[in-house]
Every structure is written in structure tokens, then in C-alpha cells.
Amino acid sequence: MYNYTNCMEEHVMNLRRAKLPDVEAMMSLVNHFADQGLMLPRSRNSLYEGLREFLVVEEQDRIIGIGALHIIWDDLAEIRTLAVLEEYQGQGVGRSLVNALLADARTILCPRVFTLTYQPGFFERCGFIMINKEDMPHKVWKDCIHCVKFPNCDENAMMLNL
């Protein structure tokens, strides 16, 4: 389904749908950045439940990046849980994940994609614009009730119209 292959310094990176055996590596990657306050943590259970939303980038059978597209409603989806190992940042891995997730959104005819992020500069380079969180539909916040930062969210809301 995804043809992304990035050959850099004899390394081959493949982008594909996540699989059940990937969950432990995905959780380790996410919670590594969550421990630094750079993203919100994810439980093993939430990763298993949302597995079909995730794409991964792997190099030599090692998960180096992940991201998910979560459908909110008939006209809105969210890119969430985007993470790339530090040593692979700046090499197009995150951009490739975002592009593939946006392609998924286009395939299902979703006209708008948003993200809540601590990395607004990255998403601006991907075409997203800052928006006011208070302008988001209430359906967006249903998962926030379980967040450790609820109700004091300090993430940036960003939107891209497709």
C-alpha cells in the first residue's frame, strides 16, 4: 500500500501498516518522548486498540518512526502519536509519515486534518496552520478526559484543509 523507501547511506527505510508485534517498540518510542515532556504517553492497551490507525517506518526490522490517523467525524481526522527516533530526525521520516497519513485522509475523502502538538514548527513545514483550540468541535476532546493534563492542555492545535 505504501511505497516509501528511503535509501540513505546504504540504509533502507520502509513505511508500512503497524502489526501486532510492533506494539512494544511503538510504546517504547512514544514513552521515551513522553518521559521528556515532548508528547503525551500512550498505554499498551491504547496502542493495541488503535493499531489499525498506525503506520510505522522501519529500518532493518527496527521501528524508527510511528504515526496514526484517527477519524473524529465525517469531516475531521487527527494525526496523533507521531514520533521519530532522535537519530533519524531531519531525514524525512516524520514528513513521510505525515504525507502517508494525509494520503489516507484523502483516500477516505476527509476534508480536514488537525493535530495537537508540542512541535508546531514541524507541522507548519508540513502545511498545517495554528488554530484556536476553543474553535475545535467538542468531539475532538472526548479522548482528553483521560489525559494527565486535562483540563489544562498546553498542546498547540493545528489544522490542514485537504
**Would you state the pLDDT for residue 41?**
87
Query: Please, what is the average pLDDT of the chain?
Result: 87
Contact 94/122 with Cβ under 8 angstroms? Answer: yes
**Would you state the pLDDT for residue 40?**
82
**Element housing 157 (H / E):** strand 156-161
Percent composition of the chain: helix, strand, coil (DSSP 3-state, to 5): 40, 35, 30
What is the pLDDT confidence band of residue 47, given thresholds at 50, 70 and 90? very high
Contact 143/153 with Cβ under 8 angstroms? Answer: no
**Would you state the pLDDT for residue 11?**
60
Q: Which residue reads 514528513 in cell numbers?
A: 95
Give the end-to-end CA distance of the chain in Å, rounded to a whole number: 20
Least confident interval from 48-52, 78-82, 132-136, 146-150: 146-150
Average pLDDT of span 137-141? 57
The Cα–Cα gap between 104 and 101 comes to 5
Mind listing the domains of the chain with CATH numbers?
Answer: 5-161 (3.40.630.30)
Stronger pLDDT, 56 or 4, i.e. the higher one: 56
